[in-house]
Amino acid sequence: MDNHLKAMDNQLEKSYLLALLENSEELIIFSLDRDGKYLFFNRRYYQLVKENWGIEIKTGDAFLEHYLDQKKRDEAQKIFDRILKGELISQAMTCQPQNGKASTDWINRWRPVRNATNEIDLVLCIGIDETEKNAARKKLFEEREKLKVSDMLGYHDQMTGLYNRRFLLDQMERTDQEKYLPISVVMADINGLELINDSFGRETGDEVIIKTAEILMKTCAKEAFVIRYGNDEFVLLLPETDRETVKALINRIQDQLTVQKVGNGIEISISFGYDTKDKIEENLNNTLKNAEDLMYREKLKKGTSMKSQTIKRVLEMLFNHNEGEKQHSIEVGEVSGKIAALLSPDKAFIEQTIRAGELHDIGKITVDDKSLNKLKTLEDSDWTDIRRHPERGFRLLSLVDEYKDIAQIVYQHQEHWDGSGYPNGLKGDEINQQARIVAIAEAYEAMKHKNKSKKEIGEELKACSGTQFDPKLVALFLQTLK
């Protein structure tokens, strides 16, 4: 008898739950089979489809049929395909009824449903009515716009026009109320800005900052307070926003970043971190700190890759602007490697010397193109600029972990054995050995491209032995020219 009553209770619970789902005005619920055909939908979803598309759906109909616009149909198909691969997706959408009723805002949570053998049998979508929340959020932002005093109080960043750090601190106090829960905070940081500044100049770096601000405003100004937090850091403060929505927002921003470039094809890379305050007793400052900590962890993962890509881009630009630089760099690398192999069989030593030879002139990226192409007719001021390229190359390469050892070689490759070189006038063994190798390789390649014979090159290297070049290395290298 007890088991029978228990079974009846379970059945009543299921019936009650089904009735709630069926009659809910705040939720839309539907499920699709693997072919995209309806298996189930509740009354609110049926009404929504009818009001928006004028279609009365029934079980077995194809979900995509009510998307009359091909682009939207393709987007819906992509989402469906991703769910069938096991992804969980959140999607924001606005529904505008054809019958004149007010529009409604929804957050759709798409989920795959697996069977006992862990295979995906069907796709479930639960939509949550966000209309009232969005109206409250809109009111909050309208109140923000009415704060004309903000300009007088210095609430804006001069470069980007975004709110500044002072505004964030004040707004966090105003927003830290139970009615705005959950409150999310996103920290965003531009990867490799210092390297971009050193490689392409601060004007380009500023352009990256401004473009990043534009993307953030365009993508999420209706949902978030967008703040420039530091030189390369931004904060998004999002009242009434849960973690799932934040993830979807970051994905949208990343999608925008992939199609945006600055200057001569420089890509913008951003590291993100986020956290959400769910309970009023939690400290919103801790939420900000947690977001910052997660952002720095992400930056450590992405930073090295981003910097390496920037170095490659610097070389590409240098080679594109000066036709002879690419071949010159490759050949200096090859000759440097041959000299290094005469000194040691260590593969790491040889490879590093080759790479240093290839990168020795990377600092010339900031030198005017006309100066590089007309070395014979340069003014003294132009020569001063060119003579700074070892220092610039050192700064660039020092910012990337994998190039830090090579940076020192590049920095010293214009030093002379007798101390007459630059940038520091080092002498003899004070100069890095691999830098001395690159110096000889560079001189050899320069003379070879002036169509000098091996004999002439050998005589000139001998003449500079002990003054410009390490005499022992010159003697070793000359043996290979015979």
For 32-96, give the DSSP string.
EETTSBEEEE-HHHHHHHHHHH-----TT-BGGGG--SHHHHHHHHHHHHHHHTT--EEEEEEE-
State residue 376's pLDDT score. 44
All residues at 6 or more sequence positions from 261 whose CB lies less than 8 Å from its CB, including other chains? 267, 268
Q: Are 23-129 and 134-303 equal in CATH topology?
A: no
100: left (phi over 0), alpha (psi -120 to 50) or beta: left
Strand partners, 114: 120
pLDDT for the residue 264 = 67
CA distance 68 to 65: 7
Query: Percent of the chain at pLDDT above 70?
Result: 87
- φ, ψ at 37 (rounded to 5°): -105, 145
More confident residue, 262 or 152: 262
Instruction: Say which residue, 159 or 317, is predicted with more confidence.
Output: 159
pLDDT number for residue 106 = 87
CA angle 32, 35, 36 (to 5 degrees): 40
Neighbours of 348 (CB within 10 A): 8
Residue 246 CA, chain-centre distance (Å), reads 17
- 216-255 tens-digit pLDDT: 999 987 889 999 999 999 999 999 999 999 999 999 999 9
Q: Is the pLDDT of residue 401 over 90?
A: no
On average, the pLDDT of the chain sits at: 85
| Residue 211 backbone zone (phi > 0: left; psi -120 to 50: alpha; other: beta) | alpha
**What is the distance between the alpha carbons of residues 253 and 40, in angstroms, rounded to a whole number?**
34
Q: Examine the pLDDT at 151 and tell me if it is beyond 70.
A: no
Q: Which two tokens stand for residue 477?
A: 């290298």
Confidence of residue 366 (pLDDT cuts 50, 70, 90): low
CATH architecture of 134-303: 2-Layer Sandwich (3.30)
Nearest one of 195, 223, 288, 213 to 256, comparing CA atoms:
213
Is 5 a residue whose pLDDT tops 50?
no
Query: Bridge-partner residues for 129, per DSSP?
Result: 106
Spatial separation of the C-alpha atoms in residues 362 and 315, rounded to whole Å:
6
Query: What are 246's two structure tokens?
Result: 């934040």
pLDDT for position 131: 85
Using a cut of 0.85, tell me whether the model's pTM lies above it.
no
The secondary structure of residue 156, as a DSSP letter, is B
**pLDDT: is 194 or 336 the higher one?**
336
The pairing of beta strand 270-277 with beta strand 266-267: unpaired
Residue 402 has a pLDDT of 85
- The model's pLDDT over 8-49, given as tens digits with 9 standing for 90+, comes to 445 545 454 555 566 667 788 888 999 999 998 988 889 888
Residue spans of the domains in the chain: they are 23-129, 134-303, 322-481
CB 140 within 8 A of CB 223: no
User: What pLDDT, on the 0 to 100 scale, is given for residue 230?
Assistant: 92
CATH 3.40.50.1000 fits 23-129, yes or no: no
Yes or no: say if 113 and 122 are a contact pair by the CB < 8 Å rule.
yes
User: Model confidence over 412-446: pLDDT tens digits?
Assistant: 999 999 999 999 999 999 999 999 999 999 999 99
CATH class held by domain 322-481: mainly alpha
Tens digits of residue pLDDT in 270-303: 999 999 999 999 999 999 999 999 999 998 877 6
Q: What is the pLDDT of residues 99-142, one digit of tens each?
A: 778 888 888 899 999 988 889 989 999 888 888 888 877 777 77
Of the two residues 149 and 312, the one the predictor is more confident about is 312
More confident residue, 166 or 379: 166
Which residue in this structure is represented by tokens 């209706």? 222
The string of pLDDT tens digits covering residues 65-91 is 877 788 888 888 998 999 999 988 888
DSSP 101-131: PPPEEEEEEEEEEE-TTS-EEEEEEEEEE-H
**315 or 78, higher pLDDT:** 78
Is residue 371 within 8 Å of residue 386, measured between CB atoms?
yes
